[in-house]
Copies of this chain bind each other. A is one copy, B any other.
Amino acid sequence: MPADMVSREGAAPSAPRPNPRRQAQRSADMRQRLCQAALDALCEVGYESLTTTMIAARAGVSRGAQTHHFATKADMLVGAFEHLLQSWDAARQLAFGGRDLGELPFEAYLRFVWREIFSKPSYIAALELMLAARVDKELGERLRQALDSPASQRNLRWRALLRFPDVRKEEQFQYMTLCLLRGMAIHASFNRSDAVNEAVLDAWIELAEKVIAVERPDGRAPEGGVVSPRAVRGHSKRSA
């Protein structure tokens, strides 16, 4: 393999180099740029005002190039959605690497997902897509499909994080937390007060830790429940 990494530089319009493997790279780059632009545009102008023309302009490419890679608007939207899912993976990788989530406190992980995922405008964009999927059945099917593998990976992560003996209860707990975070994302978007959300997040962490302590026969949570009474009642303020 020749050292052709140097030829990877240069501007978009002209790159006259007879390099093998270049076509696929170019295509992938272009798709990446378009998806990122689509996501940015979606965050900025919202789903209703999002147009394919605007996406192409944002990415700095012609509309012809765009339609070559994403024939229809729905293709473009699905691409943006997948791009967002990948960015979440990247953020998680950056924060925790390959660390075992089982050794992580629940609070740490929850604050991470709130800070890096749910509280971002891009999550609202994702919600807009999901709500739009209610009437656009084909889009919905494709979004669900894109979410399929990430969702099962999320299940594995939460399994590692929580380790409830009762898997059914663990799942309930997971979905409850997910719903809460989604609702908080909406609240943060529509209302102005971030203070409320911070307080709710703190309160949920506190409540959740008690549930975890009870559900999981960990080192510190005996079956007898000697911790429970005090734990449930102790709503001491968290410093955040």
Contact = CB atoms under 8 A, between A and B. Distances in A.
A204 B183 CA distance: 14
Nearest to A199: B172
Interface in A199-240: 199-200, 203-204, 207, 210-211, 214-215, 224-225, 228-230, 232-233, 235
Contact of A183 (B48, B172, B180, B189): B180
A76 to B, nearest CB: 14
Contact of A131 (B169, B186, B225): B186
Interface string A140-166: 100110000000000000000000001
A190 B134 contact: yes
A66 to B, nearest CB: 20
A209 to B, nearest CB: 11
A133 interface: yes
A12 to B, nearest CB: 30
Contacts of A89: none
Contact of A130 (B176, B186, B199): B186
A174 to B, nearest CB: 10
Interface stretch (A16-24, A30-38, A39-47): A39-47
A7 interface: no
